[in-house]
Chain A
Amino acid sequence: MATLEIRDLHVSVETDGEPTEILRGVDLSIESGQTHAIMGPNGSGKSTLAYSIAGHPKYTITGGTVTLDGEDVLAMSVDERARAGLFLAMQYPVEVPGVTVSNFLRTAKTALDGEAPALRHWVKDVRTAMSDLKMDPAFAERNVNEGFSGGEKKRHEILQMELLKPKFAVLDETDSGLDVDALKIVSDGVNRVRAGGDVGVLLITHYTRILRYVRPDVVHVFVAGRVAETGGPELADELEENGYDRFVQAVAAS
């Protein structure tokens, strides 16, 4: 059992030379085995939260803590966070020319485990995971994200999540830009990882659509850089009906 705990997190980014505060005191705890959905309108800071947890240098932490089983995540480098068990499925995965998917996956697995994976099992694992995500085996020899369609990039992110087996996975709008078929494939992948172990999933999304396939235990409504309300799956249903207006107005009025 592991716990990821975010306490009063404040984050700013530099825009036009001026620091702008994006996260204004985020409080959130998630335990392994749980799935939390973070929903919010555009610009509410959802992606900033994701990148801040992963340690992207563009974001400056100005206050608060993030701990993984008591360990200070914010003190870790980007790769140390991953080795501690954090994973970020990115909304816009980066192209890495000349580095094949298979080389990339093997290098990452080696880094996480501290030793190279046993070749036979590894090749089989990769093949199975790709097949489950309905990815052509030829994908393994393509360069990372280069020339991938939007849907292929998202599947590739979930492929990594399946193979790298993190303690906590943050999925940053993995559902955006996917058609229904691709959404189901990606959701099935997320559900396989959930069923397979003790992973905790932070599902960041703008839409309720993916929550029909990946049922969350907890739903957080994120507005103006903090959690405005937390509830069960029924909160997502309410958002489906009424949108974010109630929450946005509440914040505006306060």
Chain B
Amino acid sequence: MSTPRARRTVISTPDTRQADHEAAAQVADAVDARQEHAVDHAAEAPAAVTLDSSRSPGPGYDTAAARVAEAGEAVLEASRGERPRSFDPSDFPVPTGREEVWRFTPLDRLGGLLEDAPSDEDARDVVVQAPDGVHVGVLGRGEGVRGSALVPEDRAAALADAASPTATHVRVPREVELDEPVHVSVVGRAGRRGAGHLVVEAERHSRAVVVVEHTGGGAHADALEVVVGDGAELTVVSLQLWDDDAVHLSQQEARVGRDARYRHIAVTLGGSVVRLSSTARYAGPGGDAEMLGVYFADSGQHLEHRSFADHAEPRCRSDVRYKGALQGETARTVWIGDVLIRAAAQGTETYELNRNLVLTDGARADSVPNLEIETGDIEGAGHASATGRFDDEQLFYLRSRGIPEEVARRLVVRGFFADVVQRIGVPAVTERVMTAIEAELDLAVGPVAGVAAPADAAAEPALAAAPSSAGAPAGGA
């Protein structure tokens, strides 16, 4: 193909519709930006892929329904990099639902979080447990690193910041390496409205894991600001284990220093509406951001994750992997994965993946990877998105070995999550996630009697990562 490479390439695809088990292996669509044809194909790609089982009743053996959402439903941004950022809530009009950033979110269920109203004093309890050597304090606006990494990108985040004159500050001093995680507990109170700003700072050459755990109820808007110093290695885990009625909007954004390694892990299992944005920007060359997500939506839950890797520095890496399962009427998930490789970001290597497993009728998953590339000089850029129903062939294979159906279903679902869960790399969190997934499955298929319980995943010596974890774009269209 001799088409000259456009200066700027926008890939907004997913052309993945899983129709049956045979297609499952091939559904992953990967675009390698180094390839002319991929770049070419991107120009006229559709905007989103949706598997909406609520519109296609009947668990046919070889059927699944997929619908490509029509492009042009909303006004698209010229570039992800041009999205307005501001600390002033009035810079963000109250959304109507047609905006690109809000079009997937049920605005009528946000518990007033987009209204400029005061928070309740007793909306939440925040407790920080930190090992020795960690500084825990507060930061006013403009103090320390506050505001250096996170600038609100939507109305909820701006209101959250505005409502937080003091931010909780967790600082791991330079060259301190922690053996155990810092634990931040946010417990919301039902019927209350709360807001918070947490600043996590890992100074240069430090190493730490910070677990932020959200439980309880109420409506909460949060800003989680992360500063990873040069050469530091920081893992931030955000657990959304809310009660059923909770609403949570959170912007989580990191500035990744030179040669630093940042890992962000979003685990969303609870809450009525959860919308979490995870962003990594780079402050110098050689930075590495791994952003993982695991979510499980039941009836009535809307779980939305937005990831953004903003490459403006040379030789940085980003690796984004979100996996979700849905079960029950009206279960709804959204994943929007943005990657921007700016002109200065030569030698960038990026990959993003989203997989959704629809377990029952009546659920709907949206998956939208967006890849913008402004330089041809990159190591690689790939994406994959696939949403499918439960694979009955896998079920048959396992059952043909005597494994009862409910145990087989569990094996398959656990297996589906395994590669991402194993990458979490924080044993306490991994265990909790697997336990929570088991509990979700109890709802779906009922508890399994002792006889044939599968071996504990945590006891598995080495759950091998899927081949797609090699970093190369997986599969072909």
Inter-subunit contact A114/B451 (CB<8 Å): yes
Is B467 within 8 A of A147, CB to CB?
A: yes
Given A57-B392, A79-B402, A100-B463, verify A106-B61 contact (CB < 8 Å): no
Question: DSSP majority for the B interface?
Answer: helix
Find out whether the CB atom of B403 lies under 8 angstroms from the CB atom of A98.
no
**B-binding segment of A27-35, A36-44, A62-70, A138-146:** A138-146
Q: A95 contacts which of B25, B392, B418, B419 (Cβ < 8 Å)?
A: B25
B2 at the interface (CB under 8 A from A): no
How many whole Å from B360's CB to the nearest CB in chain A? 18
Identify which of B25, B391, B393, B403 contacts A107 (C-beta below 8 A): B403
What band does the interface of chain B fall in when counting residues whose beta carbon is under 8 Å from A? Answer: 35 or more
Whether the pair B404, A90 counts as a contact (CB closer than 8 A) is no
| Most B Cβ at <10 Å: residue of A102, A104, A107 | A107
Q: Which B residues lie within 8 Å of A79 (CB)?
A: 399-405, 408
Cβ-defined contact, A141 with B461, below 8 A: yes
Q: At the interface with chain A, which of B105-113, B266-274, B452-460?
A: B452-460
Residue pairs across A and B with CB atoms within 8 Å: the count is 118
Q: Are B392 and A78 in contact (CB under 8 A)?
A: no
Question: Contact at B402–A108, with CB atoms within 8 Å?
Answer: yes
Asked if A111 lies at the interface with its beta carbon under 8 angstroms from chain B, I say yes
Candidates B407, B418, B453; contact of A98 at CB < 8 Å: B418
Chain A residues with CB under 8 Å of B463's CB are 98, 100, 141
B415 touches A98 (CB 8 A): yes
Is residue B394 within 8 Å, beta carbon to beta carbon, of the partner chain? yes
Evaluate contact between B400 and A54: CB separation under 8 angstroms: yes
Q: Are A99 and B411 CB-contacts (below 8 A) given A57-B392, A82-B401? A: yes
Q: Count the A residues whose beta carbon is within 8 Å of the partner chain — how many?
A: 41
Q: Report the bound CA distance from A143 to B403 in whole Å.
A: 17
Interface string of A48-71 (1 = CB under 8 A from B): 000000111110000000000000
The 8 A CB mask of A88-112 against B (1 = contact, 0 = none) is 1010011111111011101110111
| Chain A 68-90 residues near chain B, CB threshold 8 A | 77-79, 81-83, 87-88, 90
* Given A57-B392, A82-B401, A99-B412, A107 contacting B462 (CB threshold 8 A): no
In the complex formed, the residue of B with least CB distance to A94 is: B397
The distance from the CB of B22 to the nearest CB of chain A, in whole angstroms, is 10
A94 to B25, CA, bound (A): 11
Whether B399 lies near A90 (C-beta < 8 A) is: no
Question: Hey, which chain A residues are within 8 Å of B397, CB to CB?
Answer: 90, 93-94, 96, 144
User: Which A residues, 187 to 201, have Cβ-Cβ distances below 8 Å to chain B?
Assistant: none
Q: Is A98 a contact of B402 with CB atoms below 8 Å?
A: no
Alpha-carbon distance between A112 and B393 when the two chains are bound, in angstroms: 20
CB contact under 8 A between A107 and B400, given known A77-B405, A115-B451: no
Give Cα A215–Cα B328 distance, bound, in whole angstroms: 53
Q: Considering the complex, give the chain B residue whose CB is closest to the CB of A102.
A: B460
Query: Within 8 Å of chain B (Cβ to Cβ): is A164?
Result: yes
Contact indicator B411/A96 (Cβ below 8 Å): yes
Contact residues in A for B104 (Cβ distance below 8 Å):
none
Write the nearest CB–CB distance from B258 to chain A, whole angstroms: 35
CA distance A83 to B451 in the complex (A): 13
- A94 and B451 in contact, given A107-B411, A143-B415, A143-B466 (Cβ under 8 angstroms): no
Q: Assess whether B416 is interfacial by the CB under 8 Å rule.
A: yes
* Interface flag for B396 (CB, 8 Å): yes
Q: How far is the CA of A99 from the CA of B402 in the complex (A)?
A: 16
Interface check B117, CB cutoff 8 A: no
A103:B402 contact, CB within 8 angstroms:
no
Give the residue of A81, A93, A95, A99 whose beta carbon is less than 8 angstroms from that of B414.
Answer: A99
- Decide if A205 is an interface residue (CB 8 Å cutoff): no
Q: Taking the nearest CB of chain A, how far is it from the CB of B308, in angstroms?
A: 27
A204 vs B451: C-alpha distance when bound (angstroms): 33
Whether A110 touches B452, Cβ cut-off 8 Å, given contacts A77-B405, A96-B398, is yes
Interface centre among B394, B398, B460, B463 (most CB of A within 10 A): B398
* Bound CA–CA A103/B393 (angstroms): 18
CA distance A100 to B457 in the complex (A): 10
Query: Which of A81, A93, A111 interacts with B403 by CB under 8 Å?
Result: A111
Contact indicator A106/B398 (Cβ below 8 Å): no
Identify the closest chain A residue to B323 (Cβ).
A98
Q: Cβ of A115: which chain B residues have Cβ within 8 Å of it?
A: 451
Residue among B416, B417, B460 making CB contact with A100, cutoff 8 Å:
B460
Asked if B464 is at the interface of the complex by the 8 Å CB criterion, the answer is: yes
Q: Mark A156-169, 1 if CB is under 8 A from B, else 0.
A: 00001000100000
> Considering the complex, which residues of chain B in the window 396-445 have a beta carbon less than 8 Å from any beta carbon of chain A?
396-405, 407-408, 411-412, 414-419
A108 to B455, CA, bound (A): 11
**Are B466 and A104 in contact, with the CB atoms below 8 A?**
no
Q: Which A residues between 101 and 153 are near B, CB-CB below 8 angstroms?
A: 102-104, 106-108, 110-112, 114-115, 141-144, 146-147
Task: Report B's interface with A, CB cutoff 8 A.
Answer: 25, 61, 391-394, 396-405, 407-408, 411-412, 414-419, 451-455, 460-464, 466-467
In the assembled complex, 20 residue pairs joining A and B whose CB atoms fall closer than 8 Å, in A order, are: A78-B399, A79-B401, A79-B408, A93-B397, A94-B391, A95-B25, A97-B418, A98-B414, A98-B416, A100-B463, A100-B464, A102-B460, A103-B454, A104-B401, A111-B403, A114-B451, A141-B462, A143-B415, A143-B466, A164-B401
Where the two chains meet, the residues of A that have a C-beta atom closer than 8 Å to any C-beta of B are 54-58, 77-79, 81-83, 87-88, 90, 93-100, 102-104, 106-108, 110-112, 114-115, 141-144, 146-147, 160, 164
Query: Known contacts A82-B399, A82-B400, A98-B417; can you find 17 more A-B pairs with CB under 8 A?
Result: A55-B400, A79-B402, A81-B400, A82-B403, A87-B400, A87-B401, A90-B400, A96-B394, A98-B414, A103-B455, A107-B398, A107-B411, A110-B452, A111-B407, A141-B463, A142-B464, A164-B402
The 9 closest A-B pairs by CB, nearest first: A98-B415, A98-B418, A82-B402, A108-B401, A94-B397, A99-B415, A78-B399, A79-B399, A111-B452
